[in-house]
Structure 1
Amino acid sequence: MHVDVLVAEIGSTTTLVNAFQNIDGQDPVLWGQGQAPTSVLEGDVRVGLRGAIGDLCRKKGVESLEYRDMLATSSAAGGLKMTVHGLVYDMTVRAAREAALGAGAIIHMVSAGKLRRTDLEKIREIQPNLIMLAGGVDHGERDTALDNAEALCSLGLSIPVIYGGNIDNQDEIRLIFRDSTMPLYMVENVYPRIDDLNVEPARRVIQAAFEDHIIQAPGMEHVRDMVGGPIIPTPGAVMECAKLLHGAIGDLMVLDVGGATTDLHSVTAGSEEISRISISPEPFAKRTVEGDLGVYVNMHNLVDLIGQDKLASELGFPPEEAMATYKFIPKTEKELQFVERLTLEAVLQATERHAGHIRYIYGPSGRSTLAEGKDLTQVKYIIGTGGALTRLPHRVEMMEAIAKHNETGLFLFPPETAAILVDNDYIMASLGVLSKQYPDAALKLLQKSLHIFP
């Protein structure tokens, strides 16, 4: 059997493949899906990839599969690990962090100011896939970024470094890294002027650097030989998909509740009214990842957030009864009830952490109203993807609960009028990487999965 495009999602635990047909026509279709356990522990992720393709063939009743193009996303072996280092935490460090998260990275360390010996030792222990170095607005402070560049070079590592700081430092930075074992990528300043975030150029370079050095999981270097198009971090692919959809339907947010983390992506400029009272800039496309809000790996954290007694009262049975048998996918009625309640808590907590809020400041002239954080009040669509929010029976009700969770009215949450959409085919990550080469087909396939038709 021959298909047009095969997209592989190589995750930490599961490898998925999605096969697409008629990709150049007016009616592209999802031909089939297959999955298998990711084979990092076997020493070669290609084993899991072949298993997923085999599963697809069995489901479709074909002996073998050929494809014109193969694309991939990856979060195997912990995904894209990054450390971020800047000058002032609320300015250049924050801008660099936003760029890294939006590109699909998992941030393992953030530092402001000059790197100390303890910071360098921590970087050595983390062994990140990429290091982001920033610092100083354009034509502003120079020394901190230069000192940090020298310090990073002293580590003698071969980890790629992305420099996105003061443009006046670029020539000096090139000289510092010229004889280093650390590959250097230059990008526009992520914080070129006060209150000006410039994160999109850095995001593109981060994804390019990730693909150039895609060796963080055994066998990934061989997958690069198989893939004819880009390989990007899976969360970054979801962000690409969200931005593509924004161009078609307007302001939106995407929730992805997983076994280990909950990711939230929002693509919105917010309202003019809130922007006038905001105390700091926010990126147009923002991602947050909550490492303690997973419905399997981190279920104990969610149980603690809800409260044992409260959870038992809501469920009608002790949560331990479900926790004793729950193995990632709920199979019994009690497990299903338990997982749905954890998913609801993850949705509410992740939205609360992602969204901005109103603050009241009292001074000599009376009360002033300020806004801090991401404004979601103009969001028209709340979209659910990932296993929990595409497969659980009450997934729509969980997302509808977001607007009702704003009892104080101080959170900059989406309004109750926001429509709820579900990625029914569970393909947003695949379509994000597909959009790099086939944007029109990716948008049509996404509209089908969400049941939105032009």
Structure 2
Amino acid sequence: MLVDVLVAEIGSTTTLVNAFQGIDSPDAEQDPRDPLRYPVHWGQGQAPTSVLEGDVRVGLRRAVADLCRNKGIASLEYRDMLATSSAAGGLKMTVHGLVYDMTARAAKEAALGAGAIIHMVSAGKLRDRDIEKIREIQPNLIMLAGGVDHGERDTALENAEALCRLGLPIPVIYAGNMDSQDEIRSILQDSPMPLYLTENVYPRIDDLNVEPARRLIQAAFEEHIVQAPGMEHIRDMVSGPIIPTPGAVMECAKLLYEDMGDLMVLDVGGATTDIHSVTAGSEEISRISVSPEPLAKRTVEGDLGVYVNMKNLVALIGAEKLSEELGFPPEEAMAAYRSIPKTEKEFQFVERLTREAVLRATERHAGHIRYIYGPGGRSILAEGKDLTQVKHIIGTGGALTRLPCRVEIMEAIAKHNQAGTWLFPPETASILVDNDYIMASLGVLARKYPKAALQLLKKSLGNF
């Protein structure tokens, strides 16, 4: 059997493959009158990721074999293969800027939006202990920023010299004061650290410029993604891009934004909860905002997972309160629960944890209104991301595509804003579900086949 495109999602624990048919050239218009060329999600297979076996290709082959069993075929061939990866811990990054609330935060926004997992953020000059911490982390990429264009230069230059002391072949992305690019290049040219130069993430006061850095982070990730055993051979198999899985979801969110307007995407997983929002917010809120926010923003909450971190969520709710709500002690469900709920009690338990993860993660992602009292009376300020113009809330990931109460869980967001001080989406926002669970695959597909990816995504959302 020959399919047009096979997309592999190589995760830390599970490898998923999605097969697509009817995918034409990147610029071709899909013809709905020709069902053979209309894009369809043809099939899906999965298997445990095989990092521990020394080669992620083993898990990939097993996932393809599972797809073949699901479709009742002996073998599968494909015209194109694309991939996303979060194997071996995903894209680990450290970020270093000048001032925490300015260049360091801008660099962090760029890294998160690209799909990175941030293990360290620092502001100011790197000290010896900071260098040792970077050595312990062993990041895949290091981002160096600092200074608005034509502004302060010394901190970034001294930090580049400090990074040379690592003596490790870790790629460095410089996204700071453009006046320092030549000196940064000179400092790192004799080190084992590959250097990538891009536009300043914070070129002027209150001006975020994160998209060029995001694109470069993903390009550097693709070039150097050989951390998981066997990943170097995946590059030989893949005919298109390899990008971090969370970055692929962000790509999909931005594609949808161009078609249907302001939105947010919720992805509750076993270990983390990610939120992606693409919205400029309201003019009214922007006039009282204390700092700029990117159009496309991602946050990842490493303590809000419904399996690996279920004890954290139980503690946040309160074991006694949770027992009253469920009608049974949570320990009953936790004893047998193994990542996918099977019994009625397990479903009740996981749905309550998912609701808590969604609400807590939205609180951390969204901005809020602050009241300041001074000699002139009360002033109103806005801090953080404004979600008040969001028209669509989209659920993806295992929990929000498979749980029976997934829609009610997402509807609870607007109702949670009873005090009215959170910059949450309104109750009029529509609730949509990625029913085919293919947003990450379509995010990487969109790099090469954007029109087909958009059609497939809208079909997964219920032909929006």
Q: Which runs of 5+ in 2 are unaligned?
A: 25-29, 32-37
Instruction: Give the secondary structure class of the aligned counterpart of 1:376.
Output: coil
Aligned-pair CA distance for 1:336: 0.7
> In the aligned structure 1, how far is the partner of 2:178 from the partner of 2:102?
16
TM-score by length of 1: 0.99
Q: What letter corresponds to residue 426 of structure 1 in structure 2?
A: Y
Question: When the two structures are aligned, how many residues end up with a matched partner?
Answer: 453
Instruction: Give the secondary structure class of the aligned counterpart of 1:397.
Output: helix
Q: What does 1:32-47 align with in structure 2 at a 5 Å threshold?
A: 32-47=43-58
Q: Look up the match of 1:3.
A: 3
1:432 paired with 2:404, answer no
Instruction: Give the secondary structure class of the aligned counterpart of 2:389.
Output: coil
Aligned-pair CA distance for 1:216: 1.6
Q: Look up the match of 1:417.
A: 428
Q: Look up the match of 1:109.
A: 120
Q: What does 1:164-243 align with in structure 2 at a 5 Å threshold?
A: 164-243=175-254
Q: What does 1:34-433 align with in structure 2 at a 5 Å threshold?
A: 34-433=45-444
The share of aligned pairs that are identical, in percent, is: 84
**CA deviation profile, 1:271-314 (whole Å, cap 9, x unmatched):** 00000000000000000000000000000000000001000000
Q: Which runs of 5+ in 1 are unaligned?
A: none
Aligned-pair CA distance for 1:154: 1.1
> In the aligned structure 2, how far is the partner of 1:33 from the partner of 1:304?
36
Instruction: Give the secondary structure class of the aligned counterpart of 2:275.
Output: strand
> In the aligned structure 2, how far is the partner of 1:132 from the partner of 1:88?
14
> In the aligned structure 1, how far is the partner of 2:425 from the partner of 2:444?
27
Q: What letter corresponds to residue 162 of structure 1 in structure 2?
A: I
**CA deviation profile, 1:355-410 (whole Å, cap 9, x unmatched):** 00000001111000000000000000000000000000000000000000001100
**CA deviation profile, 1:179-206 (whole Å, cap 9, x unmatched):** 1100000000000000000000000000
Instruction: Give the secondary structure class of the aligned counterpart of 2:448.
Output: coil
Q: What letter corresponds to residue 348 of structure 1 in structure 2?
A: L
Q: Look up the match of 1:446.
A: 457
> In the aligned structure 1, how far is the partner of 2:72 from the partner of 2:330?
41
Instruction: Give the secondary structure class of the aligned counterpart of 2:5.
Output: strand
Aligned-pair CA distance for 1:452: 2.8
> In the aligned structure 2, how far is the partner of 1:374 from the partner of 1:203?
19
TM-score by length of 2: 0.97
> In the aligned structure 1, how far is the partner of 2:337 from the partner of 2:420?
36
> In the aligned structure 1, how far is the partner of 2:305 from the partner of 2:170?
29
Q: Look up the match of 2:34.
A: none
Aligned-pair CA distance for 1:4: 0.2
> In the aligned structure 2, how far is the partner of 1:14 from the partner of 1:227?
19
Aligned-pair CA distance for 1:162: 0.1
1:30 paired with 2:46, answer no
Instruction: Give the secondary structure class of the aligned counterpart of 1:185.
Output: strand
Q: Look up the match of 1:13.
A: 13
Q: What letter corresponds to residue 420 of structure 2 in structure 1?
A: G
> In the aligned structure 1, how far is the partner of 2:449 from the partner of 2:242?
15
